[in-house]
Structure 1
Amino acid sequence: MTTLRLWLLLRRRTASGPRDPARLTSALAVVAFGVTTAVALVVVGGLTAFVQRQLTGTGGDESGAYVVLAAFATLLLLVPLSTLGGAAARLAVARRDARLATLRLVGASTGRVATLTVLDAAVQALTGALAGVAGYLALLPLVARLRFQGRAFEVGELWVGVPGLAAAIVAVVLVALASATSSLGRVAISPLGVAARTTPPGMRAARLIALVLAAVGAASVSSALAGAPAAVGIAVTMLLVAGGMATLNLVGPFVLGLVGRVTAARARSAATLLAGRRIADDPRTAWRSVGGVALATFIAGITAVAALLTPTDGGDPAADALAHDVGTGGLLTLAIAGLLAAVSTGVLQAGRVIDQRRTYRDLALVGTDARTLDAARFRETLVPLLVATGTAAGSMLLILGPLVGVGTFADPTVLVRYVLSVAAAAGLVLLGAAASTPVARAVVAGAR
């Protein structure tokens, strides 16, 4: 049997079984790739629109500031975009590893396994990328209604061009192929270990050092910035925020692992015990599922403070327009980050259900009811969500506090805006997690 025919048979088997976990995995991966492509194209299109306005002189006196701020927002959104793209790739790889490892155990050659991997990954990524391009085209008229610099966007300003579309498709496919290829070594060298599953290695408390260093660095920089030009202050602030996000992604999984162990140790119900054990067993994956909310919490703080520190008095129309647009852009960035976080959570939670289908089957066989499994899955999202928002808020105070003053966050305007923004992002994530319920029901029903 040729490799292509074997791949087509595997695809046909997946398509014929509506409850086949592989089919659910493929659908989720395509959705994740599609959302990643569509949002990435929209964000890049917005950045190029501001660049075009600056180059053509139609953006006003503050056009350079708009380009810098748009580039900063784009860099911030790279974090949830990469998380969602990585989630799509890992979701496909998780199921593919088990299937290909089984083929290796029954005698399939390494070359055949590699070819099957490349075909599967390329088709899923290409399908998702093409769907994302269609989504981008559908969103263009809606995004064009946004007003910046005193006028709405034109569709032509937001158009990235055919080369941009091609580059996005190629990038998505390459990410999928890179993830698939990285898993080949484990499948080829130790297929039994892949099929049997292994526990991820633990993390060390040394990660907390990064948070201390970031706080000390922020305090030192804030004192050194006194009297510095505004451009220098903006650049340094951007670097501090980027460093804060990197620090948060280092510290967050470690803190979440501790909370997971405490939750499991003090659990008073089976659902809480299951949630705590799952979080403690793999805090990195649990953190990735809510990492977008941590970013949204950071962005919400920046947006709330910016609204207070950039008041408009009517004396300078250009400055007033910039201040207004900074608030609009911050809310838009926050909304995109919240949406990406919700999709990431839904994809990762559904993927974990599929990946843990044997555990779900065993729990169902010993009499665990669906309500307990649903409650455990909900708490598996809620606990990391609370940890992510709390850790992000604390990190934001440590890093931004020395720059703007901790008392700024006690202002009622800042506080109310911040709490509402974080609550909205958290609500989107919980909604995304709820989307995995049908997947869990299908897996449990198929196991019985």
Structure 2
Amino acid sequence: MTAPGNQAVTMNSQGTAMSAGPQPAASAGSLRSALRLWRLLRVRDAGRSDPQRLTGVLAVVAFAVTTAVLLLVLGGFGAFQQRAEAGGPYSDEGFYVVLAGTASVLLLVPLITLGGAAARLSMARRDERLAALRLAGATTSQVSVMTVLDATVQALAGAFIGTAGVFALIPLVLPVTFQNRPFTYAELVPEWWVFALTVTGVALVSMLSAGASLRKVAITPLGVAARHTPNPLHWSRVVPLVLFAACFAVLVHYGLAGIVVLVAVLAGGFALLNLLGPWVMSLVGRLSARRARSVGTLIAARRIIDDPRGAWRSVGGVALCTFIAGLTAAAAMFDSVGSDDPIVADLSTGGLLTLTIAGLLAAVSTGVMQAGGIIDQRTQYRALHLAGTDLTVMHAARLRQTAIPLLAAVLIATAAALVFMLPALGFGLLSSVPLLIQFLLSVVAVCLLVLAGNLASARVVRTVLA
């Protein structure tokens, strides 16, 4: 019997995979066969019974939003750089550039989350399909070509749409005033090389994600097809965050927390928060499963336990928004005491703008990941439907699958914001009623956006049950 890795696969007129005997792994014929396979599979996967086309559309939309918002953020950062280089009474020696850079670093978190969601959206279905082809005799080169083509076509399509979409987003930012003057359209348009680097970066993110799935398929197609459960997460993820918080408290106590240190603390803190989040989600899922009083809650809890990383990714943007809401409320408190410094007012404005962008990204991420999860778990949804589960129960389970991690993420991020702000600003933050009201309204608004993103994916359930 010939090893699967040394055979080629072709498609018959019905689109069924057929072994074509031993072939050189890197031959031109193997490449042509892979291209023909990819084209035929793209056509056959567009039916209602296998909504691969819907998966592809969602991935393209997610890549487009990622590209457009990233270009808008980079354009804003470039606008502040231009103003600092030009000088003037409000240049403040590049201080605004540092603040814009801080906001850009914060927004990279939900942007990376959304880009990763787009890259992972069709990964599970692609793994299943490519694993079957490997078992049927596809060579490593054929699987590699099809995987790279899938990832690159979706990413580039979304990136080009997003590149055009940024020109429609720029007018929405023009009324915002910084340094006592609004932006101009020309200021917010990035340089041409920024467009090129952004499109290239989005494509690379998708290709790296495809490479990770390819490694699993090429080595262990049986393991991918069986969908083995990953190892449980360990409590040791808490240790780095505790050490990080202790180091920050020491820096603040000795007056060493300058603006550069604060930016580094923000970036490092969110990286560690993303490390801790999945472990917290696994605990929340187990607790919810033990105390479940309804079928919908039990289903939602079991899904959170099965994929705590996915549960955290779906609400990680809310954690960022909660933290930004705390910083914005603190800036608004200083602005309300009658400070004549324009930087204080601009801090509040910048915080609200960053919060708005992060909230919209979080909502889009949740909608995309929920839709992708429904498509990935369509066999489970069909089994529940055939077993007599009502559609309202399925929707309740989906909603709680988002709402339970959402509440946990808000609580975690609020605690992180207090750890960050109390050493620097004192306990006066907790006694300011306007500050608390603004903080609560901001967090509630973001949570409503995320829940709206969850509800927007309800139609996908009907699609997979059709």
Shorter-chain TM band: over 0.9
Amino acid at match of 1:394: A
After TM superposition, the structure 1 stretch with the greater mean CA deviation from structure 2, 339-348 or 91-100, is 91-100
The gaps in structure 2 that reach 5 residues or longer are 1-9, 11-32
Matched, 1:105 2:138: no
User: Aligned partner of 1:282: which letter?
Assistant: D
Cα deviation digits, residues 231-253 of structure 1 (max 9, x gap): x5333333333332223212221
Q: Are 1:259 and 2:279 counterparts?
A: no
Are 2:360 and 1:339 aligned? yes
Conserved in 1, the CA contact under 8 Å of 2:67 and 2:163?
A: yes
Give 1:299's aligned residue: 324
CA contact (8 A) 1:25 1:95 kept: no
Deviations 1:285-304 (A, max 9, x none): 10000000000000000111
Aligned partner of 1:357 in structure 2 is 378
1:5 is paired with a residue of what secondary structure?
Answer: helix
Contact 1:97 1:195 in 2 (8 A): yes
Tell me what 1:4 maps to: 35
Amino acid at match of 1:249: N
Distance 1:181 1:401, change over 3 A: same
Q: For this pair of structures, how many residues does the alignment match?
A: 435
Q: What code does the residue aligned with 2:449 have?
A: L
Secondary structure at 1:382 match in 2: helix
Give the Å deviation of 1:410.
2.9
119-128 or 402-411: bigger deviation: 402-411
AA matched with 2:465: V
1:70 lines up with 2:95 in the alignment: no
2:70 is matched with which residue?
Answer: 40
* Residue deviations 1:372-414 (CA, integer Å, cap 9, x gap): 1110010000000000001111122123211211331331121
Residue equivalent to 2:418: 397
Name the counterpart of 1:289.
314
Alpha-carbon distance between aligned partners in 2 of 1:162 and 1:61, rounded to the nearest angstrom: 25
Structure 1 range deviating more: 203-212 or 234-243: 234-243
Q: Which residue of 2 aligns with 1:274?
A: 299
1:191 Cα offset (Å): 0.9
**1:18 Cα deviation after fit:** 4.4
- Which amino acid counterpart does residue 45 of structure 1 have in structure 2? G
How many Å separate the matches in 2 of 1:245 and 1:121? 28
Cα distance in 2 between the residues matched to 1:59 and 1:337:
31
Q: Does 1:243 align with 2:268?
A: yes
| 2:146 alignment partner, one of 102, 116, 135 | 116
Deviation track 1:297-338 (CA, whole Å, cap 9, x = no partner) reads: 000001111222345646x5xx2x221111111000001111
The answer to whether residue 442 in structure 2 is matched with residue 417 in structure 1 is: no
d(CA) in 2 for partners of 1:63 and 1:433? 44
- Aligned CA distance change for structure 1 residues 335 and 19 (closer, same or farther; 3 Å): farther
Contact 2:48 2:464 (C-alpha < 8 Å) held by counterparts: no
Question: Aligned runs of 1:69-88 on 2, under 5 Å?
Answer: 69-88=99-118
Q: Secondary structure at the match of 1:83?
A: helix
Matched residue type, 1:395: A
How well do the aligned residues superpose, as a CA RMSD in angstroms? 1.6
Question: Normalising by structure 1, what TM-score?
Answer: 0.94
The answer to whether the Cα contact below 8 Å between 1:87 and 1:348 also exists between their aligned partners in 2 is yes
Match of 2:13 in 1: none
TM-score normalised by structure 2 residue count: 0.90
Find the counterpart in structure 2 of residue 133 from structure 1: 163
Structure 2: distance between partners of 1:387 and 1:20: 34
Aligned-partner Cα distance in 2 for 1:130–1:371: 38
- Residue 220 (structure 2) aligns with: 190
Does the CA contact (< 8 Å) of 1:311 and 1:323 recur in 2?
no
Q: Which amino acid in structure 1 is aligned with residue 313 of structure 2?
A: R
Q: CA 1:82–1:115 in 2, change beyond 3 Å: closer, same or farther?
A: same
Distance in 1 (CA, whole Å) between partners of 2:241 and 2:412 is 10
1:216 maps to 246
> Which one of 160, 176, 199 corresponds to residue 229 of structure 2?
199
2: CA distance between counterparts of 1:352 and 1:98?
15
In the TM superposition, residue 282 of structure 1 has moved relative to its aligned partner by 1.3
Percent identical? 54
Contact kept in structure 1, 2:84 and 2:91, CA below 8 Å: no
* Partner SS state of residue 167, structure 2: helix
**Out of 92, 95, 105, which is 2:122 matched to?**
92
**Aligned-partner Cα distance in 1 for 2:287–2:399:** 17
Query: CA 1:159–1:282 in structure 2 vs 1: closer, same or farther (change >3 Å)?
Result: same
Summarize deviations over 1:10-63 as a string: whole Å, max 9, x none.
112234x24532111111110110000000000000000000011112462425
CA distance in structure 2 between the aligned counterparts of 1:223 and 1:129, rounded to whole angstroms: 45
Which range is displaced more, 74-83 or 153-162? 153-162
Query: What is the Cα deviation at residue 213 of structure 1?
Result: 1.7
Give matches, 1:171-190, under 5 Å. Answer: 171-190=201-220
CA distance in 2, matches of 1:301, 1:428: 18
Structure 1 residues 223 and 172, CA gap change in structure 2 (3 angstroms): same
